[in-house]
Amino acid sequence: MAKKVLIDCDVGVDDALALILAFHSPELDVKAVTGVNGNVPLDMVFPNIQKVLSLIKPKNKPLIARGADRPLKGTTIHAHSVHGKTGLGDAIIDLKEGEEWWQKYSGPADELILDLADQYPNELTLIAVGPLTNLALALKKDPEGMKKLKELVIMGGSVRTRGNVTPYAEFNIFSDPMAAQIVFNSGIPITLVPLDATHQAFLTPQRMEEEIIPIRNPFSDFLIKATGYDMEAHRFKNRRSIFLHDPLAVGVAINTTFVKIERLSLHVDTNEDEYYGRITEKGDGPKIDVCLEVDSERFLELFVSRLKFCG
Ligand code: BDR
Ligand code: CA
């Protein structure tokens, strides 16, 4: 039976690729997609979710909801330099009037999370690939209700490796460390997919040329444009490779054998100093399953094969 999932995201190029992977995977039954402020402001994230769904055209029309437009505390940061002006890189998707591949939930994201957890007790996996604000808001509202979730799979943090926003902190955790601390202490089973793992899963120009470009379908076209791959120069315009951070979290929800997991006690730094948003291993911290190594070839094989899927 397919795993029931809710995806909380801040679309985002790799978030969009994660959604494509999830909806194209028969192992998952995506019930809902919620948006949170992150890579781009929420007012861009929410239309981006709709745009990506109109590319995917999921027959089950998942529920969608807007979430937090700012972190619990502190100022908001965005990552336009990585995800472009709109959050979808150079890809342009026009929404067609009257064509809706989603159902709009009447309340905010935290309510939808609690509602679905209640509807599917101990069955729902929440895959969080943005800042953890929506999850923290739901936990503040109803911690017991959140315990009805089966598990959380979270892309975030750098445990034994450098951060990507500061030398110590990764974007999703740095964006809302207070939220991360609340989520880590929730008692819900967590699998963390940090940079330690996602930096092992990336697309190279060679893979683009040999495996992605020949697919020639709307999903490979989207990937080429969103990542800014220059077909003439055979390279990504702004970087050497593209990390598949968020797709790897979906990959782990599909099949944990892609990764090597260690159970670690973790702590999130919330003091506003140079270590803000850092994750450290601490004896008395909550126990979390952390992905540290990836069988990248097997994961990339899955990612590419699911890009070929056409309904
Ligand atoms: C994470 O930050 C975002 O920019 C990506 O979408 C991913 O979720 C990687 O640090
Ligand atoms: Ca993301």
Distance CA 98, CA 82 (A): 32
> Which ligand is nearest to the Cα of residue 78, counting in written order?
1
Q: Which residue in 78, 234, 245, 267 is the catalytic one?
A: 245
Q: Is the CB of 155 under 6 A from ligand 1?
A: yes
Distance 164 CA to ligand 2 centre (A): 13
Pairing label, strands 28-35, 3-9: parallel
Q: How far is CA 275 from CA 127, 163, 182, 229, in A?
A: 26, 10, 18, 34
Residues spanned by the domain of 76: 3-307
Residue range 12-44, pLDDT digits in tens: 999 999 999 999 999 999 999 999 999 999 999
Determine whether the shortest distance from the Cβ of 12 to ligand 1 is under 6 A. yes
Is residue 24 part of the annotated active site? The answer reads no
pLDDT band at residue 238 using 50, 70 and 90 as cut-offs: confident
Ligand 1: centre distance to CA 162 (Å): 14
158 Cβ closer than 6 Å to some ligand 1 atom: no
Average pLDDT rounded to a whole number, residues 199-215? 98
Q: Is the confidence at residue 309, as pLDDT, over 90?
A: no
Q: pLDDT category, 311, cuts 50, 70, 90?
A: low
Cβ atoms of 43 and 66 closer than 8 Å: no
Q: Which ligand minimizes its atom distance to the CA of 163?
A: 1
Nearest CA owner, ligand 1 atom 10:
171
Q: Report if pTM > 0.95.
A: yes
pLDDT at residue 310 greater than cutoff 80: no
CATH number at residue 218: 3.90.245.10
Q: What is the pLDDT of residues 44-65, one digit of tens each?
A: 999 999 999 999 999 999 999 9
Going by CA atoms, what residue is nearest to atom 2 of ligand 1?
171
- The bound ligand whose nearest atom lies closest to the alpha carbon of 9 is 2
C-alpha atoms less than 13 angstroms from C-alpha of 58 in its C-beta half-sphere = 26
Q: Which of 263, 264, 266, 262 is nearest to 285 (CA)?
A: 266
Q: How far is CA 147 from the centre of its chain?
A: 21
Average confidence score pLDDT of the chain: 97
Mind spelling out the 3-state secondary structure of the chain? CCEEEEEEECCCHHHHHHHHHHHCCCCEEEEEEEECCCCCCHHHHHHHHHHHHHHHCCCCCCEEEECCCCCCCCCCCCCHHHHCCCCCCCCCCCCCCCCCCCEECCCCHHHHHHHHHHHCCCCEEEEECCCCHHHHHHHHHCHHHHCCCCEEEEECCCCCCCCCCCCCECHHHHHCHHHHHHHHCCCCCEEEECHHHHCCCEECHHHHHHHHHHHCCHHHHHHHHHCCEECCCCEECCCCCEECHHHHHHHHHHCHHHEEEEEEEEEECCCCCCCCCEEEECCCCCEEEEEEEECHHHHHHHHHHHHCCCC
Count how many domains the chain has: 1
Asked if residue 12 has a cis previous peptide bond (ω within 30° of 0), the answer is: yes
Residue 196 Cβ inside 6 Å of ligand 1? The answer reads no
pLDDT at 153 over 90: yes
pLDDT, tens only, 91-145 = 999 999 989 999 999 999 999 999 999 999 999 999 999 999 999 999 999 999 9
Query: How far apart are the CA of 155 and the centre of ligand 2, in A?
Result: 8
Rounded to an integer, what distance in angstroms lies between the CA atom of residue 151 and that of residue 42?
Answer: 25
* Percentage of residues in the chain having pLDDT higher than 90: 96
- Side chain identity at 235, as an amino acid letter? R
Confidence band for 285, pLDDT divided at 50, 70 and 90: confident
Q: Which ligand 1 atom is the nearest neighbour of the CA of 129?
A: 8
Q: Quick one: which atom of ligand 1 is closest to the CA of 246?
A: 8
How far, in Å, from the CA of 130 to the mean position of ligand 1? Answer: 7
In short, whether 82's Cβ falls inside 6 Å of ligand 1 is yes
Specify which residues 29 forms β-bridges with: 4
Q: Which phi and psi angles does 74 have, rounded to 5°?
A: 85, 180
Residue 244: is its pLDDT beyond 70? yes
